[in-house]
Structure 1
């Protein structure tokens, strides 16, 4: 039920705040921005959902700092099962961001990487806070995720550079 509420809320936010604004500009802007919105919703689904509607006040996890990983690639170094898979999935998860952000904003590699890092940091901090106050019991902060997510943004930006001539033909520059 929480998933239905979360997706309903995100759908209403899209319709009330973004659809009308983007639709006024052009169909290209609407399509690209909607793709980014759907992508961000899917990332939130994988990393944070369902959002807990209560703040869980009074229900705290005193071990939340102990679950957090501040050592880069610790799981890989210690040969934890699934570490390689996590790295690959984190890279793949952020490739669309590294590709779509410069399409939408027209920014270079430095700004794209900063925004990829900040998006990843927001997710990781939300997971840390979620593990502190309940709701996201199986989620926690991992510095390796920040590194691999940012690298995924770089890979996405490289795809953007490779496809830029095609993008420039499809999307007029005055949008």
Structure 2
């Protein structure tokens, strides 16, 4: 039950992060009103000043999704979990485009999906060496710890600015 709660909380924070950029005032994002669409992978907006930081970050923030899907849905096949990650990423990008609150970029769909895929595979690889119950507990513990650190970090940012 704790793992399902963690998955739901992760999804809420993921959407808060990707769509609303961790803003406390979510409505302020809707003042942005900039609609852009990039259908060329790994071009332009994805690479800012020659930096691949956004690409790296997109991969990293979706790795926990793959891990948590494997913790929570052991009987669901790999392809269905992978499809969920892909569809979620597409829905997020479509929402950004429709609501004009961010740049819609095919690179984001690709990198988000790669991150989720890496999470799925990391779990499968780890489960070959670590008992599933122990692995699940470690993932849940680390997940909770990271969420607390993120919220603490975000709270400090708000206080300092």
Same fold flag (TM > 0.5):
yes
CA distance in 2 between counterparts of 1:83 and 1:122 reads 26
Q: What's the counterpart of residue 140 of structure 2?
A: none
Does structure 1 residue 71 correspond to structure 2 residue 40?
A: yes
CA distance in 1 between counterparts of 2:88 and 2:60 reads 15
String of CA shifts for 1:59-114, please: whole Å, max 9, x gaps: 9x6x73xx21111111389x632650011001001101111112211223212211
Q: Larger radius of gyration, structure 1 or 2?
A: 1
CA distance in 1 between counterparts of 2:38 and 2:18 reads 16
Tell me the CA shift for residue 145 of structure 1.
Answer: 0.5
Q: What's the counterpart of residue 110 of structure 1?
A: 79
Task: Supply the RMSD in Å over aligned alpha carbons.
Answer: 2.8
Unaligned 5+ runs, structure 1? 1-29
TM-score by length of 2: 0.68
1:12-161 residue pairs with structure 2 within 5 A?
30-49=1-20, 51-52=26-27, 64=35, 67-75=36-44, 80-81=48-49, 83-106=51-74, 107-131=76-100, 136=101, 139-161=102-124
Distance 1:117 1:46, change over 3 A: same
String of CA shifts for 1:6-62, please: whole Å, max 9, x gaps: xxxxxxxxxxxxxxxxxxxxxxxx210111111111111111235449xx8xx9x6x
> How many residues in Structure 1 have an aligned counterpart in Structure 2?
128
CA distance in 1 between counterparts of 2:77 and 2:12 reads 24
TM-score by length of 1: 0.63
Unaligned 5+ runs, structure 2? 137-161
Distance 1:116 1:68, change over 3 A: same
